[in-house]
Amino acid sequence: MAFVLRYYYNGMVHESFLEFQEAEQLDAAGLTKIIIERLEKCGLEYRKNLVGQGYDGASVMSGRHTGVQARIREVAKHAFYVHCSAHCLNLVLVDCVKSVPDAARFFSLLERLYVFFSSSYVHHKWLEVQSEMFEGAPRELQRLSDTRWACRYITCRNLMDRLSAVKRVLEDISEEEHPDRSVDARGLLGQIDLNFIGLLSVFKKVLGSTKFVSDMLQSPRLDMTKAVDLIEALKQTFKEDRSETSFNNNWDEVIKTCDNCSISLDMPLPKRKRQLSRTLQGCVITSTVGQHVEMDSKEAFKSHVYYPIIDCMIGEIERCFSKLNCGIMKGMQALNPSSSSFLDEESIALLAKAYDADIEDLKHELHQTRRILSRKKSDGQMIPVTLMEFTRFLEPFKEVFFELFRLAKIAVVLPVSSASCERSFSTLKLVKTHLRSTMSDNRLSNLSILSIESERSKAIDMDVFIKRFCAQHGNRRIQLF
């Protein structure tokens, strides 16, 4: 397990790595015990000061009744659980592909292309063809990740830009005498048609917008109000993509790509339709009975592929991020100066009740805050525009605006994603090498702290450190100063 602490200090939000801890028991009770012991070991008053907890959404962590987050809330009632936003967005893409059969077949074909082009002979030919047809460094077809769907954008982008080179490589290999490679190349070449180009263009757009938001959600400086704005902006983007104009622009790109790659613009001939059973005739059927809609026209592609993908993305975003509409999130939005509900008493009261704030004192503080901000605005002075700036604005008056400043700090430190925990695992490959394979867990964790928190490690005064080390270890034979 990787432990990362998120906190507000000196006008900034920090995420600090604590340690790696071996988890001997992987059930909810065992994991909860490890977390509580670690908080107590660090001397943290978790019963009062723990205001949020963030995990990747596994059932053992997110279980509503017996999960780790529920058990933590039994001892720290203010520890609001947040499902990692980056993982939620990843689930949106996974569910979208599962619900559209043509999309699932499309990504399966992308995986086959990667496997074919990764063999040594084909890869060498692939690099040669790119150097002949394009300027600059050659591009690679990326392996499709099952856990980071937003990264598939790179695959779609590279394939879209280098599709003419892909087609040429497949054509050259299909004419060779090697039987296996020739058959595989002909099979892949036969599936690169107008329908495939259309799906490639659609997912290049969808995954491009999603990857940008996914990267932003993994920033340690991001707070929940900005995350809400990013998700709403992404949903609005998909709603705009659903327009007729957006589809026509996308289809024009598909036609242009087909012309550049000499791909036929004719849709495949429709196959013989599957006859409906006589027992079902005259009945209302609410589920599929095995028919597959052929993409034999532009309108068929729009109604059976383009719109279902966009609609599924919008629906899944609303479902997976529905928790962002809860009372606590509404209260946090009311502390955001760019929000339409800024300093709204009813909205902030929802957040105040969840964290046992004094409602009466809070009302007076809100009234005075409005007056101060109004006076600063009338004098032409700069006023806060983000939640973090509003928190910094309140800090010099924290004794006067005690409740409001406390709620603002809670709002900025609530976890957005568990990306920092996952990034810490990447350090293990740098620290635990084959020369250090027998080190203890404590040494591994301590070396990881020095690597992950490198800025703090470099700021250590080594003279003071050495003197303290020698004072605590008087039996050392070597004098270090």
What pLDDT, on a 0 to 100 scale, did the predictor assign at position 266?
Answer: 65
Worst-scoring range by mean pLDDT, 60-69, 102-111, 199-208, 258-267? Answer: 258-267
Distance CA 392, CA 384 (A): 9
Higher per-residue pLDDT: 185 or 276: 185
**Predicted confidence (pLDDT) at residue 366 exceeds the cutoff of 80:** yes
- Joined together, the tokens standing for residue 103 give 């999309």
**Predicted confidence (pLDDT) at residue 321 exceeds the cutoff of 90:** no
**Predicted confidence (pLDDT) at residue 449 exceeds the cutoff of 70:** yes
Q: Is 82 helix (H, G, I), strand (E, B) or coil?
A: strand
Distance CA 358, CA 365 (A): 11
The average pLDDT across 155-179 equals 90
pTM: 0.80
**Predicted confidence (pLDDT) at residue 287 exceeds the cutoff of 60:** no
Question: Which letter does DSSP use for residue 340 in this model?
Answer: T
**Predicted confidence (pLDDT) at residue 475 exceeds the cutoff of 80:** no
Where residue 328 falls among pLDDT bands split at 50, 70, 90?
confident
Question: Do 153 and 210 meet the contact criterion of CB atoms below 8 Å apart?
Answer: yes
Phi/psi at 6 (5° precision): -110, 130
The average pLDDT across 45-49 equals 88
The proportion of the chain whose per-residue pLDDT surpasses 90, expressed as a percent, equals 26
Where residue 19 falls among pLDDT bands split at 50, 70, 90?
confident
**Predicted confidence (pLDDT) at residue 474 exceeds the cutoff of 70:** no
Place of tokens 């409005």: 370
The proportion of the chain whose per-residue pLDDT surpasses 70, expressed as a percent, equals 91
Q: Is 105 helix (H, G, I), strand (E, B) or coil?
A: helix
Give burial (CB, 10 Å; 0-12/13-18/19+) of 17.
buried
The average pLDDT across 403-422 equals 89
Where residue 117 falls among pLDDT bands split at 50, 70, 90?
very high
Question: Which letter does DSSP use for residue 306 in this model?
Answer: I
The average pLDDT across 195-214 equals 90
- Type of residue at 382: M
- Joined together, the tokens standing for residue 478 give 């070597």
Where residue 341 falls among pLDDT bands split at 50, 70, 90?
confident
What pLDDT, on a 0 to 100 scale, did the predictor assign at position 280?
Answer: 63
Distance CA 260, CA 177 (A): 28
Beta strand 12-20 with 2-9: parallel, antiparallel or unpaired?
Answer: antiparallel
Average pLDDT, the chain: 85
What pLDDT, on a 0 to 100 scale, did the predictor assign at position 121?
Answer: 92
Question: What is the torsion angle, in degrees rounded to the nearest 10, for the CA atoms of residue 148, residue 150, residue 152 and residue 154?
Answer: -120
Where residue 432 falls among pLDDT bands split at 50, 70, 90?
confident
